[in-house]
Each structure stands twice: as structure tokens, then as C-alpha cells.
């Protein structure tokens, strides 16, 4: 999307290591930041999201952090497993505020 940048585009980690994916956004008024996971041949599905009134949210092995000042948010996956291998997309509200703009995706590979 026009106002969301995502890095890295590919990431390879060994099983058990941590993985971090970062996104930046341009609209300081943005207030909602979801992350979607797309397994090979499947549809994207929401895995976690964060509102701008909190700095961190955790759900088991995944967490998302938000830095509103720097306008970036990150996905953290700990103790990675082979089934975490997928493409991950971040998103932020579009400049119109009525839709989501997605980052270009990060292809995560977890090797045993």
C-alpha cells in the first residue's frame, strides 16, 4: 500500500530462534494495525492486531509492538516452529481512513 512499508521481504531463521518483522506507516492519525498470515496456497488470515492506545500486545508466541512517535510497529515471533513458515502482511488504515493498506509482505522460512 501507498503508506505502509514492510521489512525485510524475506527472512530465514532456525527453528527455536526469534523472528522480527517491521512496518512503518506515514499517517500519524492511523489507529489500528493488524497482521495477517498467509500460508502457502491459502488465504490471508488475521493473527494479531493492536490499537494505537497500547504499546504492546501478546498472544502466546507472537507479539506486536507499536511506536507511535516513530510511526512503526513490529511483529515478534518467539520460539519459531516450521509451521510459522508463511508470508506475513502488516496493514494500516488508508489515507482515506476507510480501507486498509497492506505492506508488501515478508516471506518467513523456519528451518528445522
Partner 1 sequence: DADVTQTPRNRITKTGKRIMLECSQTKGHDRMYWYRQDPGLGLRLIYYSFDVKDINKGEISDGYSVSRQAQAKFSLSLESAIPNQTALYFCATSDFSDGGRETQYFGPGTRLLVL
* Binding footprint of partner 1 on the chain (CB under 8 A): 1-2, 6, 9, 31-32, 34, 36, 43-46, 49, 51, 89, 94, 98-105
CA–CA gap between residue 96 and residue 99 (Å, rounded): 7
CA–CA gap between residue 88 and residue 75 (Å, rounded): 9
Cβ proximity to partner 1: between 80 and 101 the closer is 101
Cβ proximity to partner 1: between 49 and 78 the closer is 49
Cβ proximity to partner 1: between 36 and 73 the closer is 36
Which strand (E) or helix (H) includes residue 37? strand 32-38
Measured from the CB of residue 73, what is the shortest distance to partner 1 in angstroms? 15
Cβ proximity to partner 1: between 20 and 100 the closer is 100
- Residue of 45, 11, 56, 6 whose CA lies nearest to 26: 6
Measured from the CB of residue 30, what is the shortest distance to partner 1 in angstroms? 10
Which strand (E) or helix (H) includes residue 62? strand 62-67
CA–CA gap between residue 54 and residue 51 (Å, rounded): 6
Measured from the CB of residue 29, what is the shortest distance to partner 1 in angstroms? 12
Measured from the CB of residue 8, what is the shortest distance to partner 1 in angstroms? 12
Amino acid at each position: 500500500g501507498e503508506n505502509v512499508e514492510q521489512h525485510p521481504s524475506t527472512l530465514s531463521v532456525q527453528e527455536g530462534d526469534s523472528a522480527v518483522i517491521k512496518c512503518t506507516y506515514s499517517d500519524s492519525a492511523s489507529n489500528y494495525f493488524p497482521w495477517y498470515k498467509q500460508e502457502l496456497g491459502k488465504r490471508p488470515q488475521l493473527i494479531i492486531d493492536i490499537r494505537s492506545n497500547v504499546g504492546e500486545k501478546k498472544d502466546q508466541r507472537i507479539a506486536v509492538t507499536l511506536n507511535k512517535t516513530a510511526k512503526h510497529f513490529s511483529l515478534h515471533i518467539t520460539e519459531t516452529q516450521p509451521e510459522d513458515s508463511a508470508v506475513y502482511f502488516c496493514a494500516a488504515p488508508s489515507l482515506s481512513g476507510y480501507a486498509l493498506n497492506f505492506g508488501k509482505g515478508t516471506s518467513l522460512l523456519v528451518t528445522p
